[in-house]
Structure formats: C-alpha cells, structure tokens
Structure 1
Amino acid sequence: MENSHASPGLLKQANSSALHRALREKGAATRAQLAAATGVSVTTVRALLEEMLRDGEVERTGLGASSGGRRAAQYSLRRDKYYGAAVCITDGQAHGLLVDVHGEIVRAVPLKAGADGLRTPVLAFLDGLFAQRDIRSIGLGLPGVVREGCFWHADKEGGLHSVAVEPALSRRYGVPVVLENDVNAAAIGFARCYETEFPGEDPAETNMAYLHFDRGCVSAGFVAGGRVIRGCGHFAGELGLVPTADGRLLDECLNDPQDGREYTARVLEAAVWVCGILNPRYIALGGPALRRECIGPVNDGLSALLPGPMCPELLYTADIWGDYQIGMAWLTAEKIFHMVQIIKK
C-alpha cells in the first residue's frame, strides 16, 4: 500500500482503493454501507461505483435489508473480471492456484518438477494463466526465509544465499508480486478458516501461533494484532533453534527416537515459550512429524502451568497444504487492486 500526499488523481485512487478493500471484506454492500465503512462521501461512492459498473469491476447483486423505506441496491466485486495467480512450494512439491478477487481458489493444479526443478513448470503454469485470464497479481509461497523480494536458502555448508525472485517475476509479467514463507502463509490460511468458523472474530485482532512439525525441523508462523510477525531479519518462527532443558536444540530432541512422555514434554516446552512471548488466543499444531496423541497431554500441561489469561486454545490442523493454499490465495488477492492510502499530517 502506498502512502501519498493528496492530489485529485491520488485522492480518487485512494477512494477507489478504500471501496475495493471494503467490498473484499464485506462481500456485498450498499452505497450507504460502503460510505460508512470507508469514510468516503455517499456522492463519491455513487460516482465511483457507476464507473466501476461501466468498467465491469463490480455488479449489482440484489437489495439490502429494508429499514422501512425503499431497499437499496447492493454491490459486489465481479469474480470473473480479474484474477490472481499463486504458486505454493514446499518439500519439492508445488501447487498452482487461480484465485478470484475475494481470495477464493477457482482452480488448483499440482505442478511436477522437471530437469531444472520447479522453475519450468511454475513459469509454464503462470504463462498459461496469463494467456487465458486477466491476471493482476502473482503470489509465491516458498519453504524458507523471504525478505525484500528475495528467497534465502542454505547450502550444504550452512551458508545463506538469496535469489531475487520478486524482481524477476515482476519484469516478466508486469504485475505486483507477493512472496511469503510457507508456514507464515499456512498460519494466515488457518486464521482465515478460524474466522469463517467463528464469524464474531475480528481479523484485525487475531493473535495465534501455527506450529509445524516437519521431519528434521520445527517452525512456526505467528500472527499478532492481525499481522504476521516476521522479525527484523524475517527469521521469526525458527523454533527448532531454541535450546531445551537438556541443553540440546529442539530440532535435535524431536529428531531423536523418544518415548511419548519425553516427546510430549518437548512439545509442551515449545508451546509454553510461545505463550510466554506471544500470548496467543490459540495455537494450531500440525505437520507430518507431529505425534497427534501428544495434543491432549500438552493441553493439560498448559492448563497446569499457565494462568487462565495466558492459556491458549490448542487446535490440530490435519492439512497444511489446505491452510497454505488458502493463505497464499488471500495474500495474492490482496494485490489484485492497486492500493493507495492518503496520510494526513
């Protein structure tokens, strides 16, 4: 989102951005509801909606609830006008997504690695979508550190190397590109599902942790105040590097064969760290290396160790790919419309 001083052209863009954002959040709304949600005058809302109707960006989708007088028309973003393209990569696997303006997945296809890994199938998938649809944004989820448009990965000696992914995709396709770490994207996706399950939840107040237990490492995605916590170097969530009570790193402990009691103690230890730092409302546990039978004892341990206001709801997520895809779809859809915000001084 851009922060700009006001001028007539920028003011119009900012007002349009506010309407796009409100329509994405509400799904459908009347002119009065949009004016109330955005702070834009009803007259300006009417003019912008008429322009969006002519351009095919929005459509009338019925009538709002009656307050005693004539029922007002509702408007919503057209789902078949603009799209986003997303790719989710992790553990050498990839799925390509076609995403609509509301962040819903229209189509998902597996992408098979070729001689050069995933580069050729990913570009072929994107090229195909750009030839078929009006694609306005690209999202790419990656299993590593994402920072300043680059993907950072470690070599066999432990050194870090970066690949400038975002600039390359932006030059090739000419649309905004968003990169995200796979576990962060999964945390966003799980939070979106939780908010759908419990509509009273305010997305701007989401506080949660997503702990992913993979073979060889434990990582986490953190959301506080509705925002992903990445840290100054975007390394937040590397739980496996934290030393445990016996002096070893958490990754080492969980990689060793352990009985259920020892394993549960290590998972409980990690959950307590997270609660002490983040104080999440809920913690989602998942991943191929998670022993599901530990969840009940870990939940009991949290209740015994922590005071009530610190004790989170402990949840299990069976499908990281589903969470991952939902999160990347949402992030990609956020980039479909150019966002401008006026900052008053």
Structure 2
Amino acid sequence: MNTVTDHDYRASARRTLTLESHAVAALIERLDEAFDHACQLFLACEGRIIVTGMGKSGHIARKIAATLASTGTPAFYVHPGEASHGDMGMITARDVVLALSNSGETAEVTALLPLLKRMGTPLVSMTGRPGSSLARHAEAHLDTAVDREACPLDLAPTASTTAALAMGDALAVALLEARGFTAEDFALSHPGGSLGRRLLLKVEDLMHQGDRLPRVALGSPLRDALLEITRQGLGFTCVLDEDGRLAGVYTDGDLRRTLDHHDDLRQLRVDDVMTHGGKTIRPQLLAAEAVKIMEDNRITALAVVDDQGHPVGVLHMHDLLASGVI
C-alpha cells in the first residue's frame, strides 16, 4: 500500500487552490458587454430569475439562486430534468432563465431551449464553451471556461464549478449595488439568523422602560441612588434635573470611585459623584449601534433618551446578549 505524507496532502491542496484561484482570476479579463446585458435583463425582469443546471452545475445553480434571492433579486432553482416533466409550469414569459452547463450541451438543459423560445422567456447562459448550443441560443452568454480542472484526471468538476460560482457571486453583487440594496434589506431576508437580529432589532425593542427605568432626582442623597440601583438590578441609575431631562448617570463604577475618594458617604449627594451627561442613545437606533457605544466606552448600560433629552429607557449589555445581538 502506498503511503501519503502530510506534505503530500498540503502539496495537493496547494495545486488545487492555485488552479482554482487562477480560474477565477481569468474571469476578470473575460467580462464584457454580455455581462452588462445579463444584468440589464435581470434588472428588467418582472418575474423571477429561474436558475437551472444539472449535476454539479445544478448544485452551483442552487447556490446562485439562493444568493440572488437573499440580495434583492427574486430567484429560485428549477431542476432541468423535472422541468421537462411538468415543472416548466414554474417558468413564465415574465421570468429570465439563467442556465449553467460547463459543456453547454447538457441534454436536460438544452432540451429546454425550444420551450423557452416558444414562451419568449429570455435566456442567460453560463458555460465553458462560447460556441456551444446553450451559448449560441442565449441572449447573453457568460464565459466561465477554465484551462483545466483541479482534478488530476481533468475530469471531476472542480475549477469549472468554482469559476461558475464566482461568476454567480459577481452577478449577485452587481445587481445588489445597482438596486441600492441596504443592510436592512438584507436583514429582512434573514430575520431568523444572528445577522437579522443585529440589523432588525432596535434599542426600543430591548430597553427597560416605565417602572423598570431606574431614576433619581438631581440633589438626592447618594443613599437614594444606591437603593434605586439595588432595586432595579441594572447597576445603573439615571439622574434627572427638575425638567425631567438627563443630568447624568450613577453606576457601579462610579460607586467604586466614590469609595476610593470618600470615607463618609452619608453626607454625599448624587450630584457630587455622578458622571455628568453620560453616554446615551436614541430608542429608534439599531441595537447593534448600542453594542458599539458600549464596547468603545467599556460600559455595560446606556441611558435611552428622546429628542428632548428625557430618559425613556435603559439598555443593558445583558439584554443584548440574551437577544442574540452579540
């Protein structure tokens, strides 16, 4: 039995990654008016982008469809074999088809050509052979040819599928930018994930408010501030002026500093030892912005104030952790 050393594993991996990186880099010089036309067809589409492909190209087609759909271009995958047995009903003249085939001659895919022409559905193809049937019958052809596969037998789809995947990403990003797609738009497509939580949850969704808002009046004895911090359990209290606006905050950290500098706390008022002003945030801002403020200032709680400076809530780091924002 032949033995393979760790060095041989790494050498093989380096060859594969080098070949595939070259295959992707080569696409840059091949971008031309056909890419622009494909993007224009997709942007003008009044239906959906139907992505199709067979075998390994089918797996890449599924991923491209998912990427398009999550970045503002409605799309879904249709299996070309199933399309010939009823699933053509999923495709309409309002759609645009993106068909993948490295050879450009995959029977299940080319069998769709007469049907697409009859329906008047625009076709964009992605193949490794510009002279192939699929390329010739497409309104726009994207050339994803590679010099060779990473497979040492030059048989298993490796570099070619990597190139097709990269071209699909290039399409998705170009369309994303053309649509002015935002981070909040992206989050709406990912409401269940951690990204969605970071981008959709706002401060007002998580803050403590009403009776849970710790507060004492300016001029109160320090004892009252300590009791309020203990009662609410947030390690923090707002200090309000006579108009109900935020004058400052008193925190667990302020208490430690007070103990360092004062032997007798009984005569102190909260004004004497509070942090004037303090870091604040508006309720309508994203919770992710609160995370940044807390991390930058090494604090664990923020006063939430309205446009007039009145406290309306308090946001604690524990709330952000519990919600999955961080």
Same fold, TM-score > 0.5, yes or no:
no
Larger Rg: 2
TM-score (norm 2): 0.25
Larger helix proportion, structure 1 or 2? 2
